[in-house]
Structure 1
Amino acid sequence: MTAFVLSTAAAQADISISFFDKRIYVPGSEVLVKVTIRNQTPAAWRFKLADDKRLSVGFDVRSLSNRLLEPSDAWKRAMSSNVPAFYREVSIQPGEEYSFVTNLSDYTALDEPGAFIVVCTLYPELSGRADPGLALRSNALSLSVRPGAPTPSVAESFRSGIAEILKAERIGPDEVVSRTVTARQKGRWNEFFLYLDVERLLKANADKSRSYDRESDDGRRRMLTAYKADLMASLVDTDIVVIPSSFEIVETRYGTSYGTVVVMQKFDYDGFKMLKEYTYELERRDDIWYIVAYTVRNKGTE
């Protein structure tokens, strides 16, 4: 009876996929996909979401002639690993939804040009650990991979639509913070990430830090890419990506290798402004200041 009830709930839940930050794809490109689970049931719907998303979802990628593409090497390593699966249980209330972003290239070898159909499957009890009849299948996406070479995987960031390479400059910590917040206000993600130590921010979460430390170099790069995508989608650490209507640097303190910058930020709401005090921690490496942590204090309204 329990299995029947679960199956019914699963069948009523809905999973959909869409491209996140869609662009021109070539063999070897990252293909970021946003996965959204909507609760269409009258009760809370629960599923297990693994730290390694490949244990929670799978992707079926086929050519127009119905040829199934091979799994990626990263997927093969993950599936053959004996490392325990760490996960959390996500509860979605009726009428609500939950989304996350993942890289299709971590599942499927996208090493050839062509037109493909992409379908995602969600395993509520993790892959290979429950009745496959409980799995949810998504809508189909059309993916076009053009001939060409992938963009270089380098530390530099690029302005959208411009060939100019952004490089971190030797500026003070207060200017680093000012540029970072301004970039977020203007929606310039590449500039926003330029002075952020994304690895340190990710490892501030104890569970993610443990998972990160166990990963290979490829796995760590994958986790950092997914974390940046989650930041852009406001799925994690929303305090650092929320957009203020205005801000003012009120204090800057720094020595040879460590500094703090205190910023008062204002956020517009209907009829009032919320005031929050941000304290950014920065470290200097190779004469460049990077934001490594932050704290937020509510300071009332005006």
Structure 2
Amino acid sequence: MVTKLKILFCIQLLAIPLSHSWGMELMVQLYDRTVYTPKSTITVHITVKNNESDPFRFHAAEKRLFNIDFDVRNLRNLPIEHSEHFKIERNSSQRVFYREMVLLPGEEYSFLADLTDFVTIHVPGVYTIQASFYPDLQTSEAAQKITSNTLTIQIHPDLSNVPAYQEKLDAETGRILTKEKLPPDEVVTYMLKARQKGEWPKFFLYLDVEQLMLQDPRLRVEYRNKSDEERFQMVNQYREALQQRQVDTDILVVPSSFSIVNTSYTPTDATVEVVQTFEYSDFSEKRKYTYLLHRDKGFWMIHDYYVRNLGTE
């Protein structure tokens, strides 16, 4: 049954008979394990659990901010101010819709809340988060509440407009790409699928651009005569040239399909042979790509390749 009330008439709430068992547990955890910035949505998973032997009755508000609140503090233990959205919702005269809920012994009630609806974090840093749950809705500072465990969260600087940072972002999730210890054939598959989708950060993730560049004798001689800073710039320029399809075009051709036909490797080096098919308007072409990989800090990286034409169909 859905009930409504005016939050201005607090006496009406106090008159509603609700039986409480205060051996309740409130648990919070971050819903997404990702890199947070001041612009991020921070979703918190909240669980109310009845650890008592009696049923627990409470009001579940349609708008979560009448049931839940967050105390967010920086490392100096200074509280972060509530967001404008929170202040407007809490202070406006409105009807609060809720359902009467009952948790039997051992039962749980879980829901998600967006922390940014409650507080606004402008400054990167480390913060602690503690939630409070109000079974009868939060209508005053004296309202009964259940407090949760404390979380720690790090807010990173927003680098979304920095090119070097964008090169490491997954276009699908917005998260920073990190290498995994994949076997050689899966590394090649990952690279080829990224190329098919035009996802450059993923394409470069397991590509040793420096070693690929040094397969060119002219660039190798030039590289040897450069300082460390100039070498770094050369690698970045080669990476940009690859993305602009100005160099090493064979590895940049997008296959319509591919099939790994052979993989061999030692503890330090690997060879993966792939038959790649390229579809054109009136024919298809097959090529056999042989990718050479080496193990770098535990990760297999593609550092060279060669191609053999298998004919057309």
The two structures have a TM-score, normalised by structure 1, of: 0.48
Q: Which has the larger radius of gyration?
A: 2
The two structures have a TM-score, normalised by structure 2, of: 0.47
